[in-house]
Structure 1
Amino acid sequence: MLPVTCVSLNAFNKRMENITNLAAQYAHSLLKTQDRRQHWQLNSKPFLLKYLNGIAEKCKLKWKVGVNEILQNLESVYLVFDAEPSGIVEQSQFSLVQKMKVGGFLSYSQTRNGQIVVWINFPCIDGMSDEKTKAEMLETIEPEELTEENVNRYIEKFLHEMIQWENDARDEIGFVRHKH
């Protein structure tokens, strides 16, 4: 049987080895986040802006490319449809109000650790629902995975979803309830 001090010393050494390994893993995670953020600024964001603008120019839809840079290292580049009349008009004795279709965008958004979340936000008819607009996350990727092939795949998925939104009656059937 080993003396108590040897067992305690072995347990202590194991714990210290574990703590040292975990500290090294944490330091590596911090460096990885820095690398991702640098890759986004130097490569991914400029690539997305150029590539998406090329798509928007080639495919003549009412859409544009935008950048959200309000929070550094939580930026996004997106392809968004312009707001436009929905064709739905609310009329009363005194007014006619054209309801606008807003939204519908594909976003490439940085996460807190520098990875990129690719997601879709669906359009909505302004003033027709109290619910938040539907969003769908497509994938979380590394910044270096933003290639022409992957971006094309996401744009195809986005357009497919927008076509379905326009063609399918997914909304509640009935009348808009007015709040009093």
Structure 2
Amino acid sequence: MENISELTQQYTTVLQKVQERRECWRARSKPFLIQFLTGVTQQHKLNWKAGANELMLGLEAVYLVFDHEPSGIVEQSPFSVVQKMKIGGFLSFSQTRNGQIIVWISYPFIDGMTDEKPRTDMLETIEPEEITEENVTRYIQKFLEEIIEWENNARDEIGFVRHRKPGNGH
């Protein structure tokens, strides 16, 4: 019975920590992120914006996202000309089910060029109270470095799946 008592106390403590994380996110971390990221987009003029996904309370996210824009790739046929769009890329601070925050990047992609999902990288899992100006600045720098690398690197542009002909093995 002693072991059960210890485990029930441990579980109660864990549940309390989840509630503390959610309250910290709601009261401090989320408003700070929205304000700070909005300030960054206003100070540093790029085709980006800050926003929040609040569809699921307790699983919210605040993000910095590049707007969709023409990629410079145009698909031509005898009947149409289609401008391929580059779909943003974003840095997200996403709440998990236990109230911790996952910081992650979704890379840009050219719509309709491959059948694969956009690449994502998780940077870190942190506590809501670790969302500070210093840490967020570090994540934004990492995000921009990764986006610059993506723009400069052609490795993931292989395999224009839509243009393959069935049965020719290419």
Question: TM-score band (shorter)?
Answer: over 0.9
Q: Match of 2:45?
A: 60
CA drift at 1:128: 0.3
Which whole-Å CA distance do the structure 2 matches of 1:25 and 1:129 have between them? 48
Secondary structure (helix, strand or coil) at the match of 2:147 reads helix
Cα RMSD after superposing both structures: 1.2
4+ residue stretches of structure 1 with deviation over 6 A?
A: none
TM-score normalised per structure 1: 0.89
- C-alpha distance 26-175 of structure 1, shift in aligned 2 (>3 A): closer
Q: Match of 1:4?
A: none
- C-alpha distance 142-178 of structure 1, shift in aligned 2 (>3 A): same
Identity of aligned residues (%): 67
Which whole-Å CA distance do the structure 1 matches of 2:44 and 2:72 have between them? 23
Equivalent runs, 1:64-143 vs 2, <5 Å: 64-143=49-128
Secondary structure (helix, strand or coil) at the match of 2:59 reads coil
Which whole-Å CA distance do the structure 2 matches of 1:174 and 1:46 have between them? 42
Aligned length: 165
Q: Match of 1:157?
A: 142
Secondary structure (helix, strand or coil) at the match of 1:171 reads helix
- Residue 170 (structure 1) aligned with residue 155 (structure 2): yes
TM-score normalised per structure 2: 0.94
Which whole-Å CA distance do the structure 2 matches of 1:165 and 1:107 have between them? 17
Q: Which moved more, 1:103-112 or 1:164-173?
A: 164-173
Aligned residue identity for 2:132:
T
User: Alignment partner for residue 9 of structure 2, among 2, 17, 24?
Assistant: 24
User: Alignment partner for residue 30 of structure 2, among 36, 39, 45?
Assistant: 45
- C-alpha distance 111-174 of structure 1, shift in aligned 2 (>3 A): closer
